[in-house]
Structure 1
Amino acid sequence: MPEPEFDVVVFDVLGTLVDEPAGIRAGIRELDPTLDASRVEQLLSLWQQHIDREQRRILDGVRSYLSSDVLDLEAARLVADAAGVDDPTAVAALALSSRRLPPWPDTVAGLARLAERFPLIGLSNASRTSLLGLNAHAGLRWHQALSAEEARTYKPDPAVYQLAVTVSGLPPERLLMVAAHAWDLRGAQGLGMRTAYVGRPVGDPPTSSDGFDLHADDLTGLADQLHHA
């Protein structure tokens, strides 16, 4: 079997390996079990919009760096206020729902299969503490898990991808970045990493102008492609 053109596989976590909206949605339901499905989705959108907006403000230099734990707590307070819940204990529990995200059905087996052949690195915008919790909850297998907190910024800042390159001790073109978000893969490409898009219902699909190295419907399909590389 010919050797693949890379030596290390780097994975995005949120959305790619775990169903982030499902975990937050479950936390919102626990906050107020009387909410109907439509209201839960509205509150989920409020959470997501806050996280996206504040990470962008940090990337743009408008706001000083804050870890994902702080942003999650801010989002939880916004959601609780909108739901009419003012119990601090309930707000804190909602904030921690970001650490209780279910894996996609193919994730655990797919990682185990890929780990038989490649060193695996998780590279996430989640904080170190949050990453520890969600890795344990979802049963994710890594040889190394890296948080953007180490770079005090968020993807797609090149400094975050550089964390994986530095840890690997290899040139960036020897690393394959796997994500369900085209914006994430574009960021990795900017540093010279190889890229693989994996389709997820909550991802950011490629556009016609994207040129990623690999495309797969799930981790099983990706493992099949890499097995025959």
Structure 2
Amino acid sequence: MLELEIDAVVFDVLGTLVDEPAGIRAGIRELAPSLDESRIGELLSLWQQHISREQCGILGGVRPYLTSDVLDLEAARLIADAAGVDDPTAVAALALSGRRLPPWPDTVAGLARIAERFPLIGLSNASRTALLGLNAHAGLRWHQALSAEDARTYKPDPAVYQLAVTVSGRSPERLLMVAAHAWDLRGAQGLGLRTAYVARPVGDPPTSADRFDLHADDLADLAEQLDSA
């Protein structure tokens, strides 16, 4: 077992602690109940592609910074147009589906267990307002929840990880970044944070070139490894 000397654990939220695709799928079903699952999957992909493309555009300087709330509303309008729905109230409701994401079955208990030993910091690309709703809906408990909105950019920009470093008052190597997305962990490594990959069905698995400090099947497994480290 790799020996880790850490003072706080930083968690990605979307995909790592909550099932983002499931929440968006539910929102699309509410928008257009007649759609079959195949079509819902296509619209979900359209949503995901829009968010990814626009965040990349902001990171690349193509667009000025916009919060996740604005990008979600843009995505909701695209989905509604594709589904033939022109009800503004329904579109607004779909845009908020990103705040109603179910936690993975191990999330709440896993966070509680890890919190017995370490301060927990949530670090999300979701806006401050969206993160508040997300935390409340999924029952996520933090010592501190930080939004990329405070850095006016998105992960994997180093400025977002710096938020956690600054709040913790510790050097980067004393923090452990936990995520189901290899790209997120690479971004954290770039600033010097230790890293832990947690497998999720919707994550971005590591490649053979990635070297993360810990690999866990779920949060229970991660807690066990941290107890043994």
Structure 2 distance, partners of 1:40, 1:58, is 27
The aligned counterpart of 1:34 is 34
The aligned counterpart of 2:197 is 197
The aligned counterpart of 1:126 is 126
- Give secondary structure in 2 for the equivalent of 1:85: coil
- Give secondary structure in 2 for the equivalent of 1:92: helix
- Give secondary structure in 2 for the equivalent of 1:62: coil
Structure 1 distance, partners of 2:30, 2:169, is 44
Residue 203 of structure 1 and its aligned partner are, at CA, apart by 0.2
Please list the CA deviations of residues 145-188 of structure 1 after superposition, one character each: whole Å capped at 9, or x if unmatched.
00000000000000000000000000000000000000000000
- Give secondary structure in 2 for the equivalent of 1:156: coil
Q: After TM superposition, list the pairs within 5 Å mapping 1:1-229 onto structure 2.
A: 4-229=4-229
Structure 1 distance, partners of 2:71, 2:174, is 33
- Give secondary structure in 2 for the equivalent of 1:123: strand
Structure 2 distance, partners of 1:228, 1:192, is 22
Structure 1 distance, partners of 2:126, 2:37, is 27
> Aligned-residue CA RMSD in angstroms?
0.7
Structure 1 distance, partners of 2:42, 2:80, is 12
Residue 61 of structure 1 and its aligned partner are, at CA, apart by 0.3
Residue 107 of structure 1 and its aligned partner are, at CA, apart by 0.1
Structure 1 distance, partners of 2:38, 2:123, is 33
Normalized against structure 1, the TM-score is what?
Answer: 0.98
Number of aligned positions between the proteins = 227
Structure 1 distance, partners of 2:61, 2:32, is 36
Match for 2:127: what amino acid? Answer: S
Structure 1 distance, partners of 2:64, 2:70, is 12
Match for 2:205: what amino acid? Answer: P
Structure 2 distance, partners of 1:91, 1:144, is 31
Structure 1 residue runs of 4 or more that deviate by more than 2 Å after TM superposition:
none
Match for 1:160: what amino acid? Answer: V
Structure 1 distance, partners of 2:137, 2:103, is 9
Normalized against structure 2, the TM-score is what?
Answer: 0.98
- Give secondary structure in 1 for the equivalent of 2:226: helix
Structure 2 distance, partners of 1:164, 1:148, is 10
Structure 2 distance, partners of 1:67, 1:30, is 24
Structure 1 distance, partners of 2:205, 2:126, is 21
Residue 43 of structure 1 and its aligned partner are, at CA, apart by 0.3
Structure 2 distance, partners of 1:37, 1:21, is 13
What residue ranges of structure 1 are gaps of 5+ in the alignment?
A: none
Match for 2:97: what amino acid? Answer: S
Residue 4 of structure 1 and its aligned partner are, at CA, apart by 4.3
Residue 41 of structure 1 and its aligned partner are, at CA, apart by 0.2
Structure 2 distance, partners of 1:4, 1:213, is 8
- Give secondary structure in 1 for the equivalent of 2:75: helix
